[in-house]
Amino acid sequence: MFRLFLRSGSAALIAFFISAICVAGDPGPKYASTTVPLSRDHTYFQNPAHPAPDYWALSPYYVPQLNAYDCSVATVAAVVNALTRANRNLADSDRNASSAMLLNTVKIAQWAQRVQKGGVNGQVGLTLDQLALVLAEALRQNGIASPRIEKVQVTSDNQPTRDLWRKALAANESSADDMILIHFTQDTLTGAGGGPYPHISPIAAYDAGKGRVLVLDVDREYYEPYWVDAALVVKAMAAGTAMYGHGGWIRVSR
């Protein structure tokens, strides 16, 4: 995340060290009671009625963030590969989109600078608007000339927003032609102390029957993929911070 973009880009390293001290003194459970790690529950994928195309397109390219600020890079890399490499007939010379490659080629929004210590004018990591910009450019550079970007900023946790979110999830679950990325406060979902921790990760599956989503959290130093209630994700996206504003989701398609 931003811990602040480690546990992913977020308040600042000071907040990270303070939270680390607190956790060291009184380590709570790894996950909140409402969060279920994938290793404990993978029944959704064992049902033939759930082909889960996004999960199978994303999971081969699921990589960790490499520092406290670059959750956006790991997320965009997974999504770019899922939309341009997964289920394709590739040549032997075709390379996957790596984090390093993306930072070297995508110059918009000063992305490379923002995911390093110090950032740009003190801002590390990306806002939702900046995430949409770098995602679109990364896809253009990887063969999708006109990616369709649907960006929804979530400013409040209310029923109309939850309904819109579930509608987007249901549509997204039908094929691997589109992906959803979320900008959210990680601690709202995991229960980690010391937040808020603004974070970015992709959504891998939507279990409509149980009203939950699978978050491929790129903060792999701390977490594996986990199931959380779809409504709780709206709360996590609606949480605002001074540096990043409100979160939200981006649905991107070829």
Distance from C-alpha of 71 to C-alpha of 2, rounded to nearest angstrom: 7
DSSP 185-243: EHHHHH--TT---EEEEEEEEEETTTTEEEE--S-TTT---EEEEHHHHHHHHH-EETT
**192 falls within a domain:** yes
**220 falls within a domain:** yes
**8 falls within a domain:** no
* Confidence category of residue 16, pLDDT binned at 50, 70, 90: very low
Q: How far is CA 30 from CA 24, 146, 221, in A?
A: 13, 40, 12
CATH of the domain at 144: 3.90.70.30
Contacts of residues 240-243 at CB distance under 8 Å and 24 or more positions apart, as own/partner, are 240/155, 241/10, 241/11, 241/185, 241/196, 241/198, 243/4, 243/10, 243/11, 243/123, 243/125, 243/198
Name the E strands within the chain.
36-37, 148-153, 178-185, 198-207, 212-215, 226-229, 240-241, 245-246, 248-253
Please, are residues 139 and 83 in contact by the beta-carbon 8 Å criterion? yes
**87 falls within a domain:** yes
Average pLDDT in the 208-229 region? Answer: 98
Lowest mean pLDDT of 11-15, 201-205, 250-254, name the range: 11-15
pLDDT given at position 217: 99
pLDDT given at position 23: 39
Whether the predicted pLDDT of 3 surpasses 80: no
Q: How far is CA 87 from the centre of its chain?
A: 22
Question: Which backbone phi and psi does 10 adopt, to 5 degrees?
Answer: -145, -130
Nearest CA to 49 out of 173, 168, 165 is that of 173
Whether the predicted pLDDT of 9 surpasses 80: no
**171 falls within a domain:** yes
**4 falls within a domain:** no
Choose between 133 and 18: higher pLDDT.
133
**45 falls within a domain:** yes
Q: Is 211 left (phi over 0), alpha (psi -120 to 50) or beta?
A: left
Mean pLDDT of the chain, nearest integer: 91
102 upstream amide cis, omega within 30 of 0? no
Report residue 195 as tokens. Answer: 């937040």
Q: How many domains does the chain have?
A: 1
pTM (2 d.p.): 0.90
| 147-195: pLDDT as tens digits | 999 999 999 999 999 999 999 999 999 999 999 999 999 999 999 999 9
**141 falls within a domain:** yes
| 62-100: pLDDT as tens digits | 999 999 999 999 999 999 999 999 988 889 999 999 999
Residue 184 identity (one-letter amino acid): F
Average pLDDT in the 182-209 region? Answer: 97
pLDDT given at position 18: 34
* Confidence category of residue 25, pLDDT binned at 50, 70, 90: low
Scan for tokens 């549509």, then name that residue: 171
Average pLDDT in the 208-234 region? Answer: 98
Domain of 201, in residue numbers: 13-253
Question: Would you tell me how many other CB atoms lie within 10 Å of the CB of residue 28?
Answer: 11
